[in-house]
Chains A and B, each alone.
Chain A
């Protein structure tokens, strides 16, 4: 029960911190002071108090995007083990629910973009749905490989502590590499998308939410950070599937690990440039092949 409460508290409270950590890391690389670590929280507080301008002629779908964007990742987080602690909810096949929850959020975000009737937002929506069609198999090949390694059909079992790194090190390296790419692509980070860009033509996720403002934009930002948090936790557990003896230490290790992943993302964003848009599918297909090879190594 306590574990579930901590789990909930972490997933509700921590996500905006990650964006702050990434921004700080990037600022450190650029030799700037950067925004305060807690800027994400201040932004949310400000946006929630603001009024809104809705695009002329938009419908309930325009607001359903932000709502689904928060609700789906939050529910998905309940299926995921955080560090050494098992997920609050676990059943055979929960990885499918996990993946399809993100699909649900994607559908409504893209639909909300199309609801504005703006050329740019439609363009962003088209890119989002096309690119994630390439990221999806990478995720699933990884799931299949993990199910094979662990012999389990639930996320808690697949990501439980085990001798995976000893007995199946090579497949795990491939899956981890592939999922690192998925993590960056799904959260629209460099090299796929630049969250700080101000040119609509090159954006993917940001361009879909150009028309959202006030509380709706707050939900969008919060939902995006929850998604980043959840996928980081997934990635972290593949890379570091070990448990400490003390449950409290496990929570500490988890928080430290998540912050390290955020710093890692910040480093990647600082040292790399954005890819040309036409190159994006190539990198994603590469990621799929990595995890497919990982799975093939297990087929004996």
Chain B
């Protein structure tokens, strides 16, 4: 437990390696490949060390705690790793390492002389700051790391800042993340008032719940939920994830969202007996997120925006699990805690495998076919067979098909919801959440069938698509590695269960310390005792066997019979063309045009034909805007922007003036505190 513990040294060393990975490239020769290779190597080495250190904490229980003296106000800097942090650290190290290798092929220095160095620098900083966020146990350090993470993500996501859409999405992200950070500042200050310090450590039995703790909870939901992309704070996400270079999207969608969920989990874990409405609110937001994300995903025409909305859905599934776990804490039902949080944590792990896989695959499509508009793609599976097969595996995992990764985690969440209604102390919210997740899953099926079917199947809809090519080895290897992980991770979930159990115990520990009467009377049962993960894995393997059997029989039959190729059936039309295929927009129309309420449907930008000789008319399906942003936030923001227009005068643009502002504020605060001490003697 001392500062010199090997785990701590290993982990801090790993973080330092990743953080500094972009530095050598800054001084290396421009356009040469030395800098980028060294940086990928550093990220890879750091990730390897980090994964070893996380596994030690997660599976061997080697938690550690480090206190560093700090000159800043707010006490010493506390860093600690318990199994809960360690579980989230796994994707934080794994995904950026694969993404760094991918970046060698996707964003090579030789082709991107202007921005490749900047991208690598912020990429490493992003990954390292996420790891620090997961380890920080004092409010000050947490907020500093949080801000570094938010800014590094901003700079990495706006790499292509010459494109207006990327700039716009970047600004929206920056405003959203800072609004969230403001909430977190308030939350940290309130927490510090209750605990008397900035250390995020609960007293024996957890913090008491008072009126101010509900404010803390709500601020945490806004601040952390905003980072996680939880509905209704998700509006920045599709643009930012869609416009970023694909390996950055993979890190943002696959990992950074989870850091937000981690923050929420960490803060609520400090409380002894959370009121029931906390869990209820999270269940509602989670189910709403899942439904909304899936419905909007089905309406997208842009490959990466569709994937981003699917992340909103998956964050919803995780949040539903967290809500159920909180309900279990309030109701004193440890098995709800185990199933809800167990499913949520498994889904965090699995989503951080299949979503990066899909984003890297989308990057390969952009690289190979030059566009991310589905309606200009098609038939890619023939041109890119390996990427296509890996992408299919990613889609199947995202849809929670047995026996792939996503199925196991969703099953655990579902089972918790069923259990919460079937047994005593039943929760009606949980009863509605299960069918809501089922609808979200079925709508996501429509979205992913559209994505895979329109982009990879059929015939090419454009010249670019018909000349698409498989990416180089640097990009293909990470994609195939993730596909392999997605395929086996589900089957291996019985082996992961002990790690998840440890993380659940760590989450409960501040409120119900191990060894206390409550912990002995109502222990959180291990996941394996509630869900037969091994049986399900075996059945999953049986399904694969059955599929292989029928595929083999069919192949055998077809080999013996005469097989010819002919034109597809188009109602007797003998010369079907690629343009006659069903488009992605038509495919999504049933869901996003007819079955989704109009207010929640994606907003299309329509340029109507005008005048007697109209020049052009267009419907911009690919740039469908988020309805919340377009219908609610933009009108609101522009109205207030007009009102505050006169304040622009304060924005001088000269540094000296801003320094005067800072000085003035300080003097005013000092005067106020002096006056207060004077007027209200203690």
Contact = CB atoms under 8 A, between A and B. Distances in A.
A binds B: yes
A242 interface: no
Given A57-B382, A71-B547, A127-B590, A111 B452 contact: yes
B618 interface: no
Contact of B445 (A106, A137, A288): A106
A294 to B, nearest CB: 11
Interface string B303-323: 000000000000000000000
B566 A56 contact: yes
Question: Is chain B's interface secondary structure helix, strand, loop, or mixed overall?
Answer: helix
B431 A51 contact: no
Interface in A40-77: 48-57, 59, 61, 63-64, 66-68, 70-72, 74-75
Contact of A93 (B435, B452, B458, B531): B531
B587 A126 contact: yes
A55 B410 CA distance: 36
A249 interface: no
B650 interface: no
Contact of A107 (B399, B549, B550): B399
Consensus secondary structure, chain A interface: helix
Nearest to A110: B449
A64 to B, nearest CB: 7
A141 B459 contact: no
Interface in B531-552: 531-532, 535-536, 539, 542-543, 546-547, 549-551
Contacts of B441: 100, 103, 136
Contacts of B382: 57, 59
B320 to A, nearest CB: 14
Interface residues of A, number: 81
B570 A153 contact: no
Nearest to A112: B457
Contact of A140 (B395, B435, B563, B576): B435
B435 A51 contact: no
B581 A125 contact: no
Interface stretch (A11-19, A142-150, A167-175): A142-150
A162 interface: no
B571 A200 contact: yes
A292 B431 CA distance: 10
A89 interface: yes
Contacts of A281: 594-595
A61 B457 contact: yes
Interface in A109-133: 110-111, 113-123, 125-127, 129-130, 132-133
Interface stretch (B84-92, B138-146, B361-369, B400-408): B400-408
Given A51-B561, A100-B400, A66 B449 contact: no
Contact of B418 (A49, A61, A132, A147): A147
A137 B435 contact: yes
A29 interface: no
B576 A118 contact: yes
B229 interface: no
B670 interface: no
Contacts of B80: none
A148 B438 CA distance: 18
Contact of A126 (B436, B448, B458, B590): B590
A51 B338 CA distance: 54
A290 interface: no
Given A92-B532, A117-B581, A210-B569, A52 B561 contact: yes
A139 interface: yes
Contacts of B378: 117
A211 B569 contact: yes
Interface in B419-445: 419, 421-423, 426, 428, 431, 434-436, 438-439, 441-443, 445
B27 to A, nearest CB: 48
Nearest to A130: B590
B655 interface: no
A230 interface: no
Given A137-B435, A144-B435, A75 B542 contact: yes
A216 B586 contact: no
Given A71-B543, A96-B414, A111 B431 contact: no
Given A96-B410, A125-B449, A129-B445, A148 B421 contact: yes
A103 B568 contact: no
Contacts of A116: 458, 568-569
A89 B543 CA distance: 13
A119 B576 contact: yes
A170 B595 CA distance: 30
Interface string A68-94: 101110110000000000000101110
B418 A153 contact: yes
A97 interface: yes
Contact of B531 (A74, A92, A104, A129): A92
Given A100-B407, A119-B576, A215-B557, A56 B565 contact: yes
A97 B449 contact: no
B400 A143 contact: no
A67 B551 contact: yes
A116 to B, nearest CB: 4
A134 interface: yes
Contact of A70 (B400, B458, B550): B550
Contacts of B580: 119
Contacts of A133: 439, 442-443, 445-446, 591, 595
B547 A118 contact: no
Contacts of B442: 103, 129, 132-133, 135-136
Contacts of A257: none
Contacts of B179: none
B422 A151 contact: yes
Contacts of B591: 129-130, 133
A228 interface: no
Contact of A111 (B411, B449, B536, B586): B449
A270 to B, nearest CB: 29
A49 B557 CA distance: 8
Interface in B562-603: 562-571, 576, 578, 580-582, 586-591, 594-595
B248 interface: no
Given A92-B532, A153-B422, 20 more contacts: A55-B565, A55-B566, A63-B554, A67-B551, A97-B402, A97-B411, A103-B442, A114-B453, A116-B568, A116-B569, A117-B578, A121-B568, A122-B581, A130-B446, A133-B442, A136-B438, A137-B436, A139-B438, A140-B438, A295-B431
16 contacts: A51-B561, A52-B561, A57-B458, A59-B381, A59-B382, A61-B392, A89-B539, A104-B401, A107-B445, A115-B381, A118-B570, A129-B446, A130-B590, A130-B595, A147-B421, A295-B431
Which 8 pairs across A and B sit closest by C-beta, in order of nearness?
A: A122-B582, A114-B453, A130-B590, A51-B562, A133-B442, A117-B458, A129-B446, A140-B435
